[in-house]
Chain A
């Protein structure tokens, strides 16, 4: 069965500092990994997916199959990055989400 672990429930950094949100997964097949974001009073939305290998809003995430990780990174945090972030793995026609990390960017 798929499983996603986000070890940090809360993460607080200062504006301009680097950010890394951790995500580890377990899945026996070839998974697709995603990061979803939920800004205050907005709906859950897709931020990025590993197969696209793209940078969205300055965020990147690299799939490390050896460590079964998909950490989300941004070199310089901005105040508008404050939100809930969820890592998700897709396998067997189903998305499984982690518990989420609340990221707060301090001015």
Chain B
């Protein structure tokens, strides 16, 4: 079992450029989460999917961030345009449906915006 897979692991871009992160959850996990972890902070939830549906995107900055999970399996998180303050680690996690207390995390994507 590979666990939650994320790519790329590292990304360096200049401000105002677009960037996308990809996540493949554990097989059979209906629920997928995207978190942002700023330096020195704990992860903060950006969006939660139940299958294809985004059921909690209240913390997603919708002016520049978007996410999709078209077939209810893997997911993409996009930032366009990126700002300096977006530098962070973006974590993907997955769980069985409604098993919010048993999330499995991916290795994360470290984004640096110059």
Contact = CB atoms under 8 A, between A and B. Distances in A.
Chain A CB within 10 A, most for which of B40, B43, B48:
B43
B98 to A, nearest CB: 8
Interface size class of B (residues with CB under 8 A): 20 to 34
A86 interface: yes
A95 B103 contact: yes
20 contacts: A9-B40, A32-B101, A34-B101, A43-B4, A43-B106, A44-B105, A45-B104, A45-B105, A46-B103, A86-B42, A86-B43, A90-B100, A94-B45, A94-B56, A95-B45, A95-B100, A97-B43, A98-B42, A100-B40, A100-B41
Interface majority SS on B: helix, strand, loop or mixed? Answer: loop
Nearest to A88: B42
The A interface is mostly helix, strand or loop, or mixed, namely strand
Interface of A: 4, 9, 32, 34, 43-46, 49, 86, 88, 90, 93-100
Given A43-B106, A43-B107, A43-B108, A97 B101 contact: no
A8 to B, nearest CB: 13
B102 interface: yes
A94 B47 CA distance: 10
Contacts of B111: none
Nearest to A42: B107
Contacts of A100: 40-42
A9 B39 CA distance: 12
A89 B42 CA distance: 12
Interface in B77-93: 91
Contacts of B102: 46
Nearest to B103: A95
B44 interface: yes
Given A43-B106, A43-B107, A93 B44 contact: no
